[in-house]
């Protein structure tokens, strides 16, 4: 292989005075100064949230307005900082969603403990708990920082998916009863 | 009105003039701190302080009224003018702690000692000119004296004592190191600075004329008719101007020469133990030094209040007076001259801040090498070359 000897040039006189480089630096900073700013005026301007962002965990309804959580408590058990506390409850027999059997009576997420890891969302078999786009949680007291069920649904809203897993199950059971086979 | 003013006793008039100049210089120096913050912000790609808005109630109501003027108020708010007022209020009213381990008397003396030279050098700086009743150009200056520049150098170099005093009185290691650096640095650059202006005065004091160190005469010699009469000294003596500018950066403790402060290695240098009003006094003094230093640079090398090279103030006023006769009145003309002069000074203040965000801080030994091994020989060589050249030109 051919050996290429790279010539090491000594610094020229101008380079040793630094002056051309200082002038170039001044030009750079001046260009920077007349460009528009890089920052956001935060409370008025908000950053664009990328897809898959892990913000504040929330609970969601399905498109029919049924609360998706069936209070299986998997999220409560997986939660590393033990931020979630669920009180399971049964759905009354006369309820339209009686076939789902269970829903949370109370669902509390302590946002002072939450580490936004997203394990609750990952473990949820019902896709009922979602880490959504809200990144700023503030409050004046510790109590305010605990999101209860009402607040969690307010934050979460409705998830536009169309699995209707429980409705399909109920329909299948009904068909089995009527037809005698499955 | 003018007659009434000129009939006042001389002492009272001088007192009034001095008060007015200080009342302009002090807020100007404070405004420089806001300019510094804004320019830093712009260079770093952020908007800088732009939120503060005084309330419409309470004793700040007048400011609040200004802030509520539709366009102007928003503009002032965006420029951080009200933040400046808030800062001033904070520095004035916050608790001013004196650490237990300091030498109290000198600790309190140091910021005062920094203000005195900073505010008194301005007395010798002419910052404008006007035609008097006899049609002669008269400088607008507190003290139009023949020692001019010498007095500025003599008083300005006293500023270093405040830094040494602060460093020593703080009785702790970082301020002490800062004080030591300040003394070494300021003394070494003082030499080159003084040597660099000598060619200007060699040229101004032509043989046969009356000898002077007056800054007004330097500007006058740059406003003569003809090609060589109208050139600014920055064109004929670029090396002098360059050395003077570098030494000015070092003398005012600005980056890249802010050795005495040097927050990366000395915490805060000489002002580590200071806070609140005393701290702000150091900085008002630093900015006042910058303003006066830039003023001297403009007078020596950039033609003072002459708007452009080869276009003197007198020509401009004569030309303008044809259109608008009132500009040749002393008041108008003085204001125009002061405006032009302050514009040039303002550019230099901006330049100081611009350089601050361009160059990294030198290491201490680099500062010393640059001062003693590069600038000093260069300024001596410059002086010899110009002395020979001027001798040849003026005795021809």
Task: Select the residue from B36, B40, B43 to test the A interface by mutation, using most A Cβ atoms within 10 A.
Answer: B43
Show the tokens assigned to B299.
């007078």
Q: What is the pLDDT of residue A82?
A: 92
pLDDT at B3: 67
Q: Per the CB < 8 Å rule, is A37 touching B47?
A: yes
How far out from the chain centre does Cα A107 lie?
18
Query: Do the domain assignments include residue B187?
Result: yes
Question: What's the predicted TM-score (pTM) here?
Answer: 0.80
B23 found inside a domain: no
ipTM metric? 0.77
**DSSP designation for A93:** T
CA nearest neighbour of A116 among A103, A129, A125, A127? A129
Nearest residue to A111 (alpha-carbon basis) of A149, A79, A83, A134: A83
> Is A22's CB within 8 Å of B359's CB?
yes
Contact indicator for B189, B269 with CB cutoff of 8 Å: no
What are the chain A neighbours of B39 within 8 Å (beta carbons)? 33
Domain assignment of residue A33, yes or no? no
Are A37 and B43 an interchain contact pair (Cβ–Cβ within 8 Å)? no
Residue A60, judged by CB atoms within 10 A of its CB (0-12, 13-18, 19+), counts as buried
Residues of A in contact with B359 (CB under 8 A): 22, 25
B171 in Cβ contact with B103 (< 8 Å): yes
Average pLDDT over residues B268-291: 83
Can you tell me the mean pLDDT for B73-79?
A: 79
Does residue A177 lie within any of the structural domains?
no
Residue A57's DSSP bridge partners are A131
Q: What CA–CA distance (Å, rounded) separates B374 from B344?
A: 28
How many angstroms separate the first and last alpha carbons of chain A? Answer: 77
Tokens describing residue B234? 């920055």
Residues of A in contact with B358 (CB under 8 A): 22, 25-26, 28-29
pLDDT one-digit tens code per residue, A30-57? 998 888 888 888 888 888 889 889 999 9
Contact A25 B358 (CB under 8 A): yes
Nearest Cβ partner of A32 from B43, B355, B359? Answer: B43
In chain B, the number of structural domains is: 1
At B325 the pLDDT is: 73
What the block records as the tokens of A167 is 């409705």
Question: Of A21, A30, A37, which to mutate for an interface test with B (greatest number of B Cβ within 10 Å)?
Answer: A37
Domain presence at residue B24: no
CA distance B296 to B124: 10
| Residue-number span of the structural domain to which B274 is assigned | 101-394
Q: What's the pLDDT at B59?
A: 66
Three-state DSSP class for residue B52? coil
Q: Using one digit for the tens of pLDDT, what is the confidence trace for B168-180? A: 888 888 888 888 8
Cα separation, A71 vs A41, whole angstroms = 41
pLDDT at A168 exceeding the cut of 90: no
Size of interface A-B (CB pairs under 8 A): 32
CB contact under 8 A, B354 and A29: yes
Structure tokens at B356: 């601050």
pLDDT value at residue B223: 78
Pair B127, B295: CB distance under 8 Å: yes
* Nearest CB to A33; choose among B42, B47, B355: B42
In A27-153, DSSP assigns E strands to: 57-59, 84-90, 102-110, 129-131, 146-147
Pairwise CA distance, residues B305 & B341, whole Å:
5
Sequence-distant (6+) residues with CB within 8 A of A18 are: none
Contacts of B46 in chain A (CB under 8 A): 37-39
Contacts of residue B41 in chain A, CB cutoff 8 Å?
37
Alpha-carbon distance of B313 to B343, in angstroms, equals 14
In a domain, A72, yes or no: yes
Contact between chains at A30 and B355 (C-beta distance less than 8 A): no
Q: In chain A, whose CA is at the least distance from the CA of B51?
A: A41
- Contact between B43 and A28 using a beta-carbon 8 Å cutoff: no
Highest mean pLDDT among B105-109, B118-122, B132-136: B105-109
Inter-chain contact A26–B354, Cβ cutoff 8 Å? yes
Mean pLDDT of B374-383: 90
| Mean pLDDT, residues B369-383 | 89
Q: How far apart are the first and last CA of chain B?
A: 51
Residue A113 forms part of a structural domain: yes
Say if A21 falls within a structural domain.
no
Which chain B residues are Cβ-neighbours of A41 within 8 angstroms?
A: 47
- pLDDT in the model for residue A180: 61
Rounded mean pLDDT, A108-117? 92
Find the residue in A nearest to B43 (Cα). A33
The answer as to whether A11 is a domain residue is no
Contact assessment for residue B254 and residue B291, using Cβ atoms and an 8 Å cutoff = no
**Helix (DSSP H) and strand (DSSP E) numbers for chain B:** 19, 2
* Nearest by Cα to B171 from B263, B259, B106: B106
CB nearest B357 (choices: A29, A35, A38): A29
Residue in B with minimal Cα distance to A32: B43
Which among B41, B44, B359 has CB closest to A25? B359
Burial of B30 (0-12, 13-18, 19+ CB in 10 A): buried
Q: Is residue B315 part of a domain?
A: yes
Residue A46 to residue A159: CA distance in whole angstroms:
23
How many separate domains does chain A show? 1
Domain range for A84: 57-171
As a whole number of angstroms, the distance between CA B272 and CA B274 comes to 6
Interval B143-160 mean pLDDT: 81
Q: What is the CATH number of the domain that holds A89?
A: 3.30.70.3270
A44 inside domain: no
pLDDT at A141: 92
Give CA–CA dist B161/B345, Å, rounded.
Answer: 26
Closest residue on chain A to B50 (Cα): A41
Mean pLDDT for the stretch of residues A123-147: 89
Q: Which of B47, B354, B358 sits opposite A39 (nearest CB)?
A: B47
């Amino acid at each position: 292989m051919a050996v290429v000897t790279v010539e090491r040039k000594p610094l020229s006189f101008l380079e040793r005075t630094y002056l051309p480089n200082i002038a170039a630096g001044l030009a750079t900073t001046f260009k920077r100064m007349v460009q528009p700013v890089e920052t956001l005026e935060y409370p008025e301007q908000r950053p664009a949230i990328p897809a898959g962002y892990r913000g504040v965990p929330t609970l969601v309804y399905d498109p029919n307005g049924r609360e998706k959580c069936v209070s299986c408590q998997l999220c409560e058990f997986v939660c590393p900082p033990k931020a979630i506390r669920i009180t399971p409850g049964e759905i009354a027999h006369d309820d339209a969603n009686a076939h789902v059997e269970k829903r949370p009576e109370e669902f509390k997420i302590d946002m002072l403990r939450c580490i936004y890891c997203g394990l609750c969302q990952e473990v949820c078999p019902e896709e009922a708990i979602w880490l959504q786009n809200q990144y700023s949680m503030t409050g004046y007291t510790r109590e305010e920082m605990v999101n209860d069920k009402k607040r969690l649904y307010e934050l979460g809203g409705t998830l536009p998916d169309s699995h209707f897993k429980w409705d399909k199950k109920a329909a299948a059971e009904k068909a089995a009863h009527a037809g005698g086979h499955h | 009105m003018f007659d009434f003013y000129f009939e006042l006793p001389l002492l009272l008039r001088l007192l009034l003039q001095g008060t007015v100049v200080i009342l302009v210089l002090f807020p100007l120096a404070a405004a420089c701190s806001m300019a510094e913050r804004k320019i830093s912000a712009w260079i770093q790609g952020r908007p800088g302080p732009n939120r503060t808005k005084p309330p419409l109630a309470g004793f700040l109501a007048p400011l609040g009224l200004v802030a509520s003027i539709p366009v102007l108020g928003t503009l002032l708010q965006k420029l951080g003018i009200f933040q400046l007022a808030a800062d001033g209020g904070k520095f004035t009213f916050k608790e001013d702690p004196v650490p237990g381990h300091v030498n109290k008397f000198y600790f309190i003396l140091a910021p005062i000692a920094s203000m005195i030279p900073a505010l008194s050098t301005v007395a010798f700086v002419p910052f404008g000119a006007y035609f008097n009743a006899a049609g002669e150009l008269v400088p607008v200056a507190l003290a139009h004296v023949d020692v001019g520049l010498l007095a500025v150098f003599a008083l300005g170099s006293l500023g270093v004592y405040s830094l040494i005093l602060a460093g020593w009185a703080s009785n702790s290691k970082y301020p002490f190191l800062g004080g030591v650096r300040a003394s070494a640095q300021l003394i070494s650059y003082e030499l080159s600075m003084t040597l660099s202006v000598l060619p200007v005065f060699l040229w101004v004091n032509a043989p046969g004329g009356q000898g002077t160190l007056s800054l007004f005469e330097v500007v006058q010699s740059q406003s003569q008719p003809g090609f060589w009469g109208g050139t600014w000294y920055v064109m004929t003596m670029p090396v002098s101007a360059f050395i003077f500018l570098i030494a000015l950066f070092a003398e005012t403790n600005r980056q890249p020469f802010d050795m005495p402060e040097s927050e990366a290695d000395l915490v805060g240098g000489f002002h580590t133990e200071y806070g609140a009003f005393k701290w702000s006094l150091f900085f008002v003094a630093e900015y006042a030094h910058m303003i006066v230093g830039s003023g001297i640079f403009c007078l020596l090398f950039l033609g003072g209040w002459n708007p452009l090279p080869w276009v003197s103030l007198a020509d401009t006023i004569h030309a303008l007076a044809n259109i608008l006769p009132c500009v040749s009145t002393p008041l108008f003309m003085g204001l125009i001259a002061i405006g032009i002069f302050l514009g040039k000074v303002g550019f230099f203040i901006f330049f100081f801040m611009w350089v601050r965000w361009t160059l990294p801080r030198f290491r201490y030994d680099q500062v010393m090498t640059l001062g003693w091994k590069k600038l000093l020989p260069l300024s001596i060589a410059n002086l010899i070359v110009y002395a020979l050249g001027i001798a040849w030109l003026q005795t021809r």
